[in-house]
Chain A
Amino acid sequence: MAEPAGLSLRHLTKRFGALTATDDLSLEVRPGEVHAIIGPNGAGKTTLIAQIAGELTPSAGDIYLDGECVTPLAGPERSLRGIARSFQITCLCHRFSALTNVALAVQAHSGHSFRFWRAAARDVALQAAASEVLARVGLAERAQVMAGHLAHGEQRQLELAVALATRPRLLVLDEPMAGMGKEDSARMIALLKQIRGTCTIVLVEHDMDAVFALADRVSVLVYGRCIATGTPQHIRANAEVRHAYLGDDGEVTHD
């Protein structure tokens, strides 16, 4: 597995007409840490992820991966440099099996795919690597099930497996717990605890239990600006954060 990479955002700005979704945002994510990004709805979290992953081009500012500027690179190139993302709304090939979804991610990172003859399903190297990743997220038994037929929680696990199969140095997770029940959430948290350390993780999440269970540091995003960064304890205690996000009554609320 490749070394975890640091991520550095410098004066990142994204405007949609009059709306500034990301507003002169500078942020340092240290190699190997779990860095949670929280903020109210409309704070620009998903827009930020799209820029890190290369789906959206920033209006201004730059993105550095381990000191190397990746701003001009498109999504696929960034994936090849080691940035992987998961989607808030499950984004899979629904008519492929779970195994095939993961195998495609392995394939994407094992040279070009202008190979027209040999069946991919008989490619032992691809299939073995994919099976291994599926087993890591606990989906080994469900390998042959079509992605579209998996339960919601399983699809979220598969979403993570696909990202992991690209052997990321930086993993950007967009609300991995979205729409999950308590049990599934707990399983996902346990899973992410296993992964931590193998790659840097940027975690956007609404579930405060998950954030405080996983994060080494937390950044709070409001109207595209980062109003605070610090340890979970620090953020809990921060008055401005409480005011902007956690509620005005001074109590930290979970949910």
Chain B
Amino acid sequence: MIARTRRPELPLRLLVALAVMLLAFALLPLVAQWFGSPYFIRLGTRVMVFAIAAVSLDLILGYGGMVSFGHATYVGVAAYVVAILAHHGANEPLLLLGMSVPGTANAWIAWPAAILAASLIALVVGAISLRTTGIYFIMITLAFTQMVYFLFLSLQQYGADEGLRLANRSELLGLDLGNRVVMYYVTLVALVLVLFGGWKLVHSRFGMVLRGCQQNARRMEAIGFRSYRYKLAAFVIAGATAGLAGVLQVNNEAFVSTADLHWLRSADLLIMVILGGVGTLFGPVVGAVAWVLLELWLEGLTVHWHVILGPVLIFIVLFAKNGLWGLLLGRGDDRG
């Protein structure tokens, strides 16, 4: 018997959709400049930051069955770490456990530190939450989110509920991240890398185990997989990726506040994933675009815009199983 090995194919429709998406993102700054609305460049960066966070959430939600109700925590914490390090770089050094640690705006130090912080929190939250499943998992991740939220709310030194301004933008390869076009393309590169890495991950041996655990954990245990450690690893990877989103976010907005850590932001991310299509990897990017546009448009119509958003979501959940991405492509990517 000759083994038939299949490359995880990129069907034509998927390739076209991805090409169109990439082209649209790549051209947006030019179009925005053309129409004299550079405001859209910052907005576009914001969308891509959300997209990175939503894609990372989809890795555990759509491929691991983990409904994390606290994913914004990892984004927010990473953003805070960058802002705090920059704050101490510009002002007095940070006193940590009796040691004086100088702050920095160097991206090669601040970004890994921020992503590491997000990963460590994900490790702790995941290690505890993954001992439960279903509604309990949701509630525990939510509880941790609130803990971190109130922790930062209590830090007077870093602005508490008023938030923290980014003293200096990160220094990365001599790029001027204060320039909105530069910031935009840096974020676009990050998004493309995250999508490429995510695609590789969900089709790798690791990804297959993760997806197997989502479909039938009992079976996976019976054939010899300790599902806990694979799910935990995925949870930490998702946390780290969300951390990358946070690093970019704080550089784009030059500001971070506890609103970025609030559970409502985590709910927003969940909505983006559901809108775009759970377990579709690329769908959450569309979900992030749709979410930001919907928010903009509906906010303009009425202050009670959630009244409209709610039914739209219910409609999507009921009639478009794989979200907007499913509507675009016909179906999700379930194949091994």
A residues in contact (CB < 8 Å) with B: 53, 55, 74-76, 79-80, 84-85, 87, 91-97, 99-100, 103-105, 107-109, 113-124, 127-128, 130-132, 135, 140, 143, 146, 162-163, 165-166
Contacts and interface: CB of A to CB of B under 8 A. Distances in A.
B212 A115 contact: no
Contacts of A107: 205, 208-209
Contacts of B221: 55, 74-76, 79
A162 B223 contact: yes
A99 B336 contact: yes
15 contacts: A53-B222, A76-B225, A79-B222, A93-B211, A93-B215, A96-B211, A103-B336, A108-B224, A114-B206, A117-B200, A119-B7, A120-B208, A128-B2, A140-B1, A143-B4
Nearest to B279: A95
A124 B204 contact: no
B59 to A, nearest CB: 11
A90 B276 CA distance: 32
A113 B205 contact: yes
A135 B204 CA distance: 24
A131 B4 contact: yes
A97 B336 contact: yes
Contact of B5 (A76, A115, A121): A121
- 6 closest Cβ contacts across the A-B interface? A100-B336, A79-B224, A128-B3, A108-B224, A93-B215, A127-B3
Nearest to B208: A120
Contacts of A94: 215-216
Contacts of B218: 55, 87, 91
Given A76-B221, A104-B223, A119 B8 contact: yes
B2 to A, nearest CB: 8
B267 interface: no
Given A91-B218, A119-B204, A165-B223, 12 more contacts: A55-B221, A92-B219, A104-B209, A108-B223, A109-B224, A113-B209, A115-B204, A116-B207, A117-B200, A117-B204, A118-B205, A120-B208
Contacts of A95: 215, 334
B88 interface: no
Given A99-B336, A103-B336, A123 B5 contact: yes
Contacts of B205: 107, 113, 115, 118, 120, 123
Given A91-B216, A104-B209, A131-B1, A122 B204 contact: no
A127 B5 contact: yes
B265 interface: no
Given A116-B200, A131-B4, A143-B4, A91 B222 contact: yes
B222 A116 contact: no
Contacts of A99: 336
Given A76-B221, A76-B224, A104-B220, A97 B335 contact: yes
B279 to A, nearest CB: 10
Contacts of A91: 216, 218-219, 222
Contact of B3 (A93, A105, A124): A124
A135 B233 contact: no
Nearest to A105: B223
Nearest to B9: A121
Task: Find the residue from A53, A127, A135 having the highest chain B CB count within 10 A.
Answer: A127
A166 B221 CA distance: 12
Nearest to B8: A119
A49 B204 CA distance: 32
A143 B207 CA distance: 20
A107 B2 CA distance: 18
Contact of A118 (B4, B204, B215, B216): B204
Contacts of A119: 7-8, 200, 203-204
B306 interface: no
B1 to A, nearest CB: 5
